[in-house]
Structure 1
Amino acid sequence: MKQQGRILSTVSIIHAINDGSVAVISILFPIFKELFDLTYTQVGIITGGGLFITLVAQLILGRMADGKNVNSFLLTGLLLTSSSLILLTFSNAFITLIFLIFFMRFTTSFFHPIGIGWISRTYKKGRLDWAMGIQSGSADLGTFLAILTTLSITQLTHWTVPLYGWACICILGLLASLVLTFHLKKEFVIVPKETKKHSIREMATDAFERMKGIKMLIPAFMISGASWGVIITYLPLLLTERTTLSLPIIGFLVALWAGVGSITSLSYGKIRFYIHRKKLLVIAYLTLGIFSLFLAVFTHIIILIAVMILLGIAVFLTYPALFSFVSEVTHESVEGWTFGLTFVFQTGGGTIILFIGGVLSDLFGIWTPFALLGTLSLLFSMVLLFNYQKPFALPK
């Protein structure tokens, strides 16, 4: 296998396990809510706070990884994620649950700025959209498998069993990644960065200048980050409260969303060949807005199936498209730093909307996170249409 293929395979495996591990926790919130007597506000604090931990950690880790062995960072993250999943089985109250989920969120923060940056550097000169689609689709496949199996396994056994299972999968992924990357050349693993030390003021100025180039996409990262969290966390809670559907059926509906999303991401390179990336984003956010509002109103099983398929296409089209826009305007020596900055907005949007969604759910009902997400998506799609003739991203 060629060096590029080994890197893509490694990143795809780790991304699948990383996002699958996060999805296992998110889909278990109907269990956690009943087991630990949580309010929706507490759910919002746990999920939003966890994303805030991710926000800070990704920014720091992305900066630290530039100029260092990125593979070592990714493998360390896998090992820590395995440990965090085992520790989570000892949760016995709100306090221990929130502390251990925060730790798990830190461990899963190793991947995104570093792994995405590695793919960006490796494929910047060709097949970028294809590679972004493959690694993103692999992550969605991991999410799909986690969602599809977790609630069914929990109903048959115990809620800790899926956590032990994914802890073992982390170790298997670690071993597979070691085999794939053992003979990689140094230039593929370490990219030299500027040796000059920067003050905090200089780093802040640099961050501001880089974000000016992609200011049009900042709301996109925020909405896309929030959409993943809202659907995977609040949809099972909504269906548990407003329908008589069993946990395995609820798991199937959310898994349908992730499964369609996985196929969409894996097909992104081909889709991109026929449809301009700008047009894809407009269509995706318009669809996300309309059908998020549908979830706030309709809970009939047939409507839910159709809505989850369409949302799977819309949400998961945005990730590789956004990554590709950023990659095209980013120099390879600062990939980790730049993607760390973009993930600040992606996780920041999730932090704010998940927390607000929890509070609003206690005040007005569990439908409100979907109404909020839908409204924001529709407004942003109008902004994209209004600015369609302008570049969505510019180099620093």
Structure 2
Amino acid sequence: MSRTRILASSAIFHGFNDGATVAVPMIFPILLSQGFILKNYSQMGIMSHLGLLTTFIFQIIIVQMSPLARYQHFLAASFLGISSTLFLFSQAKSWLSFLVIYLLFRLFDSFYHTLGLSLVSKTHQTGGMDLAMGIQSGSGNIGILIAFLTAGSLAQQFSWKTPLYFWSAFCFFTGLASYLLVRSLELPQEKPEALTLSSWKETFKGVLAYLPGLIFAGGGWGLVVYYAPSLFHHRFSVSMGQTGVILAVWIGLGTLITYLFGGLCRLFNRQRLALVGLAGSSFSLTLMGLAPEVWLAQLSLYLFGLFLFLIFPALQASLGSQVPSENQSQAFSLASNLQIISGAIFSLLFGFISDLFSIQAPFLMMAFLALLALIGQKASFRKGYRKT
């Protein structure tokens, strides 16, 4: 019963957490079109870059702080902070004030992918790891789907502030539900002696085996969240409401894949699925970058959704099975931070590339990086086989 409640709470936490991170960038194209707050793609890239770096720094701090308080306290701080900063966005009057609020928002957004993932992994060590990872990953995608469906259409029909009000309330009530599910439970807590510098180094050695896939996954995610809305809205003149629907279908297909992940693992294996995801991502991003018509760009995006969301649970489940229970928070913090660093670097770079060339150029660049990641990850898996 407690495992069910923990997984349900974590799924809700992941849903509102990731949904909120997508709802904010969904209003960027409108702000850019209006010339209000955002003036160019470079400003968008700088904001995305600094926000991701903030999450990177605070994920490490949060893991180190985890022995000092119960998991429930961190969950409460996260959903209250996310809800509050979403409301504060609507009060911003300049790019600088918007940026400061965005960095604060990313601070409160730094809890789930270390502590939440770790809790799911710890409570499923004796069985059901693949199913649990697929469910929690898929639930995050459902939150993103809701964000895509609501943020663009609300901003287009009313104002850019409306989706921020909606998501502020949504995160408060879903966060409260997540908290109440686990409030009375005695949950595993980090031991201070497990979080030494030597344990960080040892855990990092295990994470290195998944470095190519993690780097691509972080960059690929950032590419779609920050630049796909502008690709459809500015390149193909698709309304923001319709753009939201297109991206909702993308994340919906990804959600389907994550919920089927446990069954797919029984038919194939995690490593094979990760490699298929990387190969398919390279192909679909190439099509997307070269697409002359909106229908082909849509089709390519949908294919990318199927392949990208094979990679996330495959790497997460492999990592959770490999790392000792006492080092789970460190392992997922490091894995998440590698993706964040990748996303931060690429989101900054893609902003300048889009200004210099076109909004399609980052998609072609990411297709090439997917191919390099495929080669590197396959070599890493083979090295692991030789050791065992």
TM over 0.5: yes
**Helix, strand or coil: the match of 2:205?**
helix
Q: Which residue in 2 is equivalent to 1:311? A: 304
Q: Does 1:167 align with 2:168?
A: yes
Distance 1:66 1:304 in 2: 47
Give structure 2 stretches of 5+ with no counterpart: none
Under a length normalisation based on structure 1, what TM-score does the superposition of the two structures give?
0.93
Rounded to whole Å, the distance in 1 between the matches of 2:105 and 2:386 is: 33
Change in CA separation of 1:393 and 1:213 when aligned onto 2, cut-off 3 Å: farther
Aligned partners of 1:140, 1:392: CA distance in 2, in Å? Answer: 32
What is the aligned-residue identity percentage? Answer: 28
Moved more, 359-368 or 40-49: 359-368
Q: Assess, with a 3 A threshold, how the Cα gap between structure 1 residues 309 and 67 changes in structure 2: closer, same or farther.
A: same
> Aligned pair 1:23/2:16, yes or no?
no
Distance in 1 (CA, whole Å) between partners of 2:283 and 2:130 is 27
Equivalent residue of 2:226, what SS? helix
2:280 counterpart of 1:287? yes
TM-score, normalised to structure 2, is 0.94
CA offset digits 1:88-128 (Å, max 9, x no partner): 11122211111111111111111110000000100011000
Q: How far off is 1:168 after superposition?
A: 0.9
Q: Secondary structure at the match of 1:109?
A: coil
**Structure 2: distance between partners of 1:260 and 1:94:** 34
Question: In the alignment, does 2:316 pair up with 1:323?
Answer: yes
Q: Which amino acid aligns with 2:32?
A: K
Alignment match, 1:252: 245
Query: Secondary structure at 2:24's aligned position in 1?
Result: helix
**One-letter code aligned to 2:240:** L
Note closer, same or farther for the CA distance 1:244–1:192 as it changes in structure 2 (3 Å cut). closer
Is 1:264 aligned with 2:263?
no
Distance of 2:385 and 2:145 partners within structure 1: 30
Matching residue of 1:361: 354
Seen in structure 2, the aligned counterparts of structure 1 residues 69 and 392 have a Cα distance that, compared at 3 Å, is farther
User: How far 1:227 moved relative to its partner?
Assistant: 1.0
Show the counterpart of 1:4.
3
The answer to whether the 8 A contact 2:114-2:336 is kept is: yes
Letter in 2 for 1:274: L
Give distance in 1, aligned partners of 2:385 and 2:170: 38
Q: Is the 8 A contact 2:195 2:330 kept in 1?
A: no
The one-letter code matched in structure 2 to 1:110 is F
Whole-Å separation in 1 of the counterparts to 2:305 and 2:182: 32
Indicate if the aligned counterparts of 1:217 and 1:392 stay in contact, CA closer than 8 A: no
| Unaligned residue ranges in structure 1 (runs of 5+) | none
Distance 1:219 1:277, change over 3 A: same
Alignment of 1:125-274 (within 5 A): 125-184=126-185, 186=186, 189-195=187-193, 198=196, 203=197, 205-274=198-267
Which residue in the other structure is 2:50 paired with?
A: 49
Give the CA deviation at 1:84: 0.7
Which contiguous aligned blocks of 4+ residues in structure 1 show a shift greater than 4 angstroms? Answer: 392-395
Aligned partner letter, 1:239: F
- The one-letter code matched in structure 2 to 1:326 is L
Please give the secondary structure, in 2, of the residue aligned with 1:102. helix
Query: Compared with structure 1, are the counterparts of its residues 211 and 192 closer, same or farther at alpha carbon in structure 2 (3 Å cutoff)?
Result: closer
